[in-house]
Amino acid sequence: MDIIVCVKRVPDTSEADLAIDKGGKDIQKGGLDYDINDWDRFAIEEAVLIKEKTGGKVTVVTVGDEDAEEMLREGLARGADEAFLLWDESFEGSDGYATAHILAAFLKQRSYDLVLTGTLADDDCGGQFGGMLAAMLGVPVATLVHKIEVKNGSITVRRELEAGLSERLDIDLPAVVSVATGINEPRFVSIRAVRKVASIEIPTVDRGELGLDEADVGSAGAKVEIEKVFLPPEGEGAEIIAGSPADAAARLAEILKEKGGIA
Amino acid sequence: MKTIYVLAEHRQQHLRDTTWDALAAGRDLAQKTGAELACLLLGSGVDAMADQLAKECPKVVVVDDPRLANFNSEPFVKTLTGLLAGQDSYVLVIGNSNSIIDLAPGLSVALDAALATDCIGFEVDGGKVKALRQIYSYKVNALVSFKGASRIVATLRSGFFSFAPSGAAPGAIEKVASPLGDEPLRKRFLSYVEAEKGDVDIASADIIVAIGRGIGDEEDLSMFESLADAMGGVVACSRPIVDKGLLPKYRQVGTSGVEVKPKVYLALGISGAFQHLGGIKGNPLIVAVNKDPRAPIFRAAQYGIVANLADVVPALEEKIKELKG
């Protein structure tokens, strides 16, 4: 089975101290670490696991500039066979819709049985990419998938609903599947594996090669626009217990005792 | 905007709470834009749900088709595209859920509409609708506009729109023939699968010590188990801990995990994403320890400590043991 995995490089904001930049439309990204979006790492692993069972080829692709190449190379080290970087200066400022448009143009030029991606990205928290891409390609989609069984010409997936409930669906191929974190355990990447793929060339594909107009991509091709960003006001919520960690812990123990937190 | 549409979500013949969230937001938007409000109810054998909605909404458009019994995105997108074909100047609001994540993005493309997911509020500025949502690990608010789009789809974060029954005169129910053709579906619902039950039922625990991503690379959970023992509680967790294989799924608190209703919830290294908070019911005392002062958990908690877990947890356990005598 030939599988194409769409991945994204994102800043790690989960525990970082964030500040708004001067323009007021984004955060200051200077001091942040970047890595592959956590959900997409599971998508690569799932593709490689399926390939190991059924044979075929795994391709990793992203929309991003040369800084994203290292992430693609990690995908190769994880077991992908080839990688492509889709980049053109005009892609700058693409929203989820424009990004899906760029990847749809890439996919329409290739043959595939399955497209895998992560359901959510930690930067825009949109959860929209897989569904948009599938609609643009005219193929079925399932998101939040935590189990994939490959059949002949179709797959059976389990997707997460609420309160522990899942649903089982049969989906004809080709299809787009957005995976949930936890669908597998992404393998450890050894230095040896990274060295093995160091010489594989990662081609950059530009707008012209994808047959896209400037109006389709970047902020021109976007459907939504960020007007301003801001940090939610502080001071709402918890009373922060001051003092050294040990003192604060002692005070917290007293509060817990008072409020029935010690049985 | 001419019309504000609200898509009703249901499961196993019951309207879900997301429907009322969406109706609350829809009412507000209709009032602010001077648009008409209409509910869209797609399902199979939905008369009772239609009556329920008509008590709260001036117009309910119903499509009854057995292929719409479950929230399978394929027939839903086709039906909604058929219903809204040729229409302009509308906002379609839908309460966000794990079914809607499957539906809304593809629907927005099929309708050639602009999409904003998981909105926590709206602004109407000179007749134009703008949406407030959260980005960067849900720590930053963003006001987004739709570049003058005349068709907008917006999904809503649960808990941010509160519905008050209006008691208004019954609305009109308009039954529309299903626009679905005979072509076979490429995505087919098979069955629901219930979660596995484990050795501990965190749903019935009064005291919960929950751990999250902030425990770092620590794989030894004995520090947390020992604290939970001292408190007389159980250890639960957020999603990243299950993803790493450190605890089983039946210990995960959250919308896709287990809903809990303890008296006391101690959140250790949990950022407090809404998917996690959505699993905490019954207004417990929430206490959080996290090294990030901007972690959303501090907005849900009553008390917090900003520090490294390793500096707090052993001291806390020791003090608790001392207080117990």
State the pLDDT at residue B165.
Answer: 87
**Is the peptide bond between A174 and the residue preceding it cis, with omega within 30 degrees of 0?**
yes
CA B149 to chain centre: 26
Report the C-alpha gap between B5 and B158 in whole angstroms: 18
Nearest by CB to A18, from B139, B255, B323: name it.
B139
Taking contacts as CB-CB distances below 8 angstroms, the residues of chain B near A257 are 320, 323
Looking at CA atoms only, how far is residue A193 from chain B in angstroms? 22
Q: Are the Cβ atoms of B259 and A163 closer than 8 angstroms? A: yes
Maximum separation of any 2 CA atoms in chain B, in Å: 73
SS3 A242: coil
User: Is pLDDT of B211 > 70?
Assistant: yes
State the pLDDT at residue B169.
Answer: 66
State the pLDDT at residue B131.
Answer: 98
Read off the pLDDT of each residue in B123-127 and give the average, rounded to a whole number. 91
Question: In which residue ranges of chain A is pLDDT below 50?
Answer: none
Report the C-alpha gap between B184 and A164 in whole angstroms: 30
State the pLDDT at residue B253.
Answer: 96
Looking at CA atoms only, how far is residue A200 from chain B in angstroms? 30
pLDDT range class, residue B197, cuts 50, 70, 90: confident
Nearest by CB to A161, from B99, B231, B288: name it.
B99
Hey, is the C-beta of B243 within 8 angstroms of any chain A C-beta? yes
Taking contacts as CB-CB distances below 8 angstroms, the residues of chain A near B311 are 245-246, 249
Between B309-324 and A245-258, two packed helices, what is the crossing angle to 10 degrees? 40
Q: Are the Cβ atoms of A250 and B259 closer than 8 angstroms? A: no
Report the C-alpha gap between B29 and B91 in whole angstroms: 9
User: Is pLDDT of B248 > 80?
Assistant: yes
Q: Are the Cβ atoms of A182 and B242 closer than 8 angstroms? A: yes
The token duo for A148 is 């994939």
Hey, is the C-beta of B63 within 8 angstroms of any chain A C-beta? no
Answer yes or no: are the C-beta atoms of B304 and A241 closer than 8 Å: yes
| Kind of pairing between the strands at A82-86 and A114-118 | unpaired
Nearest by CB to B141, from A132, A232, A259: name it.
A232
User: Is pLDDT of B137 > 80?
Assistant: yes
Taking contacts as CB-CB distances below 8 angstroms, the residues of chain A near B104 are 128, 131
| pTM for this model (two decimals) | 0.92
pLDDT range class, residue B207, cuts 50, 70, 90: very high
Query: Which region, left, alpha or beta, applies to residue A129 given φ > 0 means left and ψ of -120 to 50 means alpha?
Result: alpha
Tokens 């794989």 -> residue: B219
Read off the pLDDT of each residue in B50-69 and give the average, rounded to a whole number. 96
pLDDT range class, residue B238, cuts 50, 70, 90: very high
Half-sphere exposure of B202 (CA within 13 A, CB side): 29
Taking contacts as CB-CB distances below 8 angstroms, the residues of chain B near A144 are 98, 101-102, 256
pLDDT range class, residue B166, cuts 50, 70, 90: confident
Query: Which region, left, alpha or beta, applies to residue B90 given φ > 0 means left and ψ of -120 to 50 means alpha?
Result: beta
A224, A244, A247: best to mutate for the B interface, most B CBs within 10 A:
A224
The token duo for B196 is 């596995």
Q: Are the Cβ atoms of B319 and A250 closer than 8 angstroms? A: yes
Torsion angle (degrees, nearest 10) of CA B216, B220, B221, B222: -140
The token duo for B249 is 């799924």
Domain architecture of chain B: domains with CATH: 3-176 (3.40.50.620), 202-324 (3.40.50.1220)
SS (H, E, C) chain B: CCEEEEECCEECCEECHHHHHHHHHHHHHHHHHCCEEEEEEEECCCHHHHHHHHCCCCEEEEEECHHHCCCCHHHHHHHHHHHHCCCCCEEEEEECCCCHHHHHHHHHHHCCCEEEEEECEEEEECCEEEEEEEECCCCEEEEEECCCCCEEEEEECCCCCCCCCCCCCCCEEEEECCCCCCCCCCEEEEEEECCCCCCCCHHHCCEEEEECHHHCCCCCCHHHHHHHHHHCCEEEECHHHHHCCCCCHHHEECCCCECECCCEEEEECCCCCHHHHCCECCCCEEEEEECCCCCCHHHHCCEEEECCHHHHHHHHHHHHHHHHC
pLDDT range class, residue B256, cuts 50, 70, 90: confident
User: Is pLDDT of B234 > 90?
Assistant: yes
Amino acid of residue A191: I
Nearest by CB to B320, from A122, A180, A256: name it.
A256
Average pLDDT, chain B: 94
Indicate the DSSP class of residue A20: B
CA dist B174 → A199, B47, B58 (Å): 64, 11, 11
The token duo for B158 is 């649960």
Q: Are the Cβ atoms of B266 and A256 closer than 8 angstroms? A: yes
Read off the pLDDT of each residue in B274-298 and give the average, rounded to a whole number. 92
Q: Which helix (H) or strand (E) holds A254?
A: helix A245-258
Q: Are the Cβ atoms of B114 and A224 closer than 8 angstroms? A: yes
Q: Who's near B318: CB < 8 A, 6+ residues apart?
A: none
Indicate the DSSP class of residue A141: E
Amino acid of residue B7: L
State the pLDDT at residue A234.
Answer: 64
**Cβ neighbourhood burial of A8 (10 Å; 0-12, 13-18, 19+):** buried
User: Is pLDDT of B37 > 80?
Assistant: yes
Looking at CA atoms only, how far is residue B104 from chain A in angstroms? 8
Sketch the domain layout of chain A as residue ranges.
3-221
SS3 A47: helix
Answer yes or no: are the C-beta atoms of B180 and A236 closer than 8 Å: no
Torsion angle (degrees, nearest 10) of CA A40, A46, A52, A57: -50
Q: Who's near A9: CB < 8 A, 6+ residues apart?
A: A34, A35, A36, A37, A62, A64, A67, A68, A71
Q: Who's near B55: CB < 8 A, 6+ residues apart?
A: B165, B167, B168, B170, B171
Alpha helix segments (H runs only) across A55-128: 69-77, 96-108
Average pLDDT, chain A: 95
State the pLDDT at residue B159.
Answer: 85
Percent of chain B with pLDDT strictly greater than 70: 99
Between positions 20 and 49 of B, the ones with CB within 8 A of A are none
Amino acid of residue B99: S
Homologous superfamily of A3-221: HUPs (3.40.50.620)
Answer yes or no: are the C-beta atoms of B255 and B279 closer than 8 Å: yes
| Kind of pairing between the strands at B172-176 and B187-193 | unpaired
| Kind of pairing between the strands at A239-240 and B303-306 | parallel
